[in-house]
Amino acid sequence: MAYSNQDPSFTLGRRPTGLTFADKAKSFGGYTLFAPQTADGRVYLIDDEGEVAHQWQLPVRAGRDAVLLPNGNLGYNGSHRNSAQLYPAWDLWHGGDFYEVTPDNEVVWHYEDIFHHHDAQWLANGNLLYTTAAPLPAEIAARVTGGDPRRDAPDGIIQSDIVKEVTREGKVVWEWRAWEHLAPEDFPVHDIFDRRHWPMINGLSVTRDGLVLMSLRTTSGVIAVAKESGKVVWHAGPDVVAQQHTPVEMENGSILVFDNGNLRPGVTSPHSTILEFDPQTKAITWQYRDIFPPAFFSPYMGSAQRLANGNTFICESAFGRLFEVTPQGETVWEYIIPHFNEYPEHLSNGVIPGKHNSTFRAHRYSADAIPWLK
């Protein structure tokens, strides 16, 4: 355990960092991977003692996250230096500079898309599934409701989402345009958001049956899309989730999400929860929240991963807190990312000031999933 910064005005820097708690008898153990947003392209793999077991250095800072691929390489979603400039906060959540690198940091694949934002999934067939932004047709943009019209773009353009699947050769083999399948009247933007991006798909995953799960940030919702037809098979709306991230199907068919909770009707204290719900009935079958709910809160980003021992690994992204809880909600492992830095100047000067240890997501792996690690 260490203290990252002694600056008395820097609240997070005065708090302990590194491994703060571990109950090895109850924890899954293994290794944890994370790519801090402000670490200039460094990616860390730490052991259950919080010690760095391996490290990568990528050419660009993290746009989103990094994952370990089945072949042992690292899949990295970097922040493209020449990304499209669509609106002021765009640089906070785009990636678009993708790398696959070996444990020795050798680049074996590189792909770019300057319109990429938020999530990307490295599929088992080697393809990449990711979300891009594209302007809504004017007649559809006029139907977008809710949000804060005072912060509309001067040109009136509202960005929307296209989900793409590309091969290793960069060929697009599947494409899904949000406005062709979602009616703006049925997906109003929450009052806390501007209307520059609708519905902002911030999370993707694929179910065992091939449905594509999509998280709709500004409208609060998770949808399941059939790839063949593009139709929405089911939708869990704001009566179930609140500004959520990372929908993932569990073995029993339920859906696990990081529910950010910036705004919940009738709730005065924002707080995050981890929700598991039945996609057919929309009933919540399991959830985690802190005993004092506001003590666990990430207003942006965040992830949850169900581990093989039944525990859940959580990334409280905004505050760089990675922790593991039992099904009963007991915390059995906790680590605070000790790497604080500022975002690039054009972002730190007003958009997101101060020093950050945030990471889009973190991932836990068992030791036998990393055979190259000595």
pLDDT in tens, 271-295: 999 999 999 999 999 999 999 999 9
| Residue among 134, 38, 118, 130 at smallest CA distance from 86 | 134
Torsion angles phi and psi, residue 276, rounded to 5: -120, 125
CA atoms of 218 and 223, how far apart (whole Å):
13
Q: Decide which of 3.40.50.150, 3.30.230.10, 3.30.2010.10, 2.120.10.30 is the CATH code for 2-369.
A: 2.120.10.30
CA atoms of 153 and 229, how far apart (whole Å):
33
The pTM of this model reads 0.96
pLDDT in tens, 206-259: 999 999 999 999 999 999 999 999 999 999 999 999 999 999 999 999 999 999
- Predicted confidence at residue 156, as pLDDT, reads 86
CA atoms of 123 and 81, how far apart (whole Å):
25
Run of H or E residues at 215: strand 212-216
Burial of 64 (0-12, 13-18, 19+ CB in 10 A): buried
CA atoms of 194 and 150, how far apart (whole Å):
8
The arithmetic mean of pLDDT across residues 117-142, rounded, is 97
- Predicted confidence at residue 1, as pLDDT, reads 64
pLDDT at 5 over 70: no
- Predicted confidence at residue 230, as pLDDT, reads 98
Q: What tokens appear for 126 in the block?
A: 């080697």
CA atoms of 57 and 43, how far apart (whole Å):
6
**H-assigned helices in 133-289:** 138-141
Count of residues for the chain?
374
The average confidence (pLDDT) of the chain is: 95
- Predicted confidence at residue 11, as pLDDT, reads 86
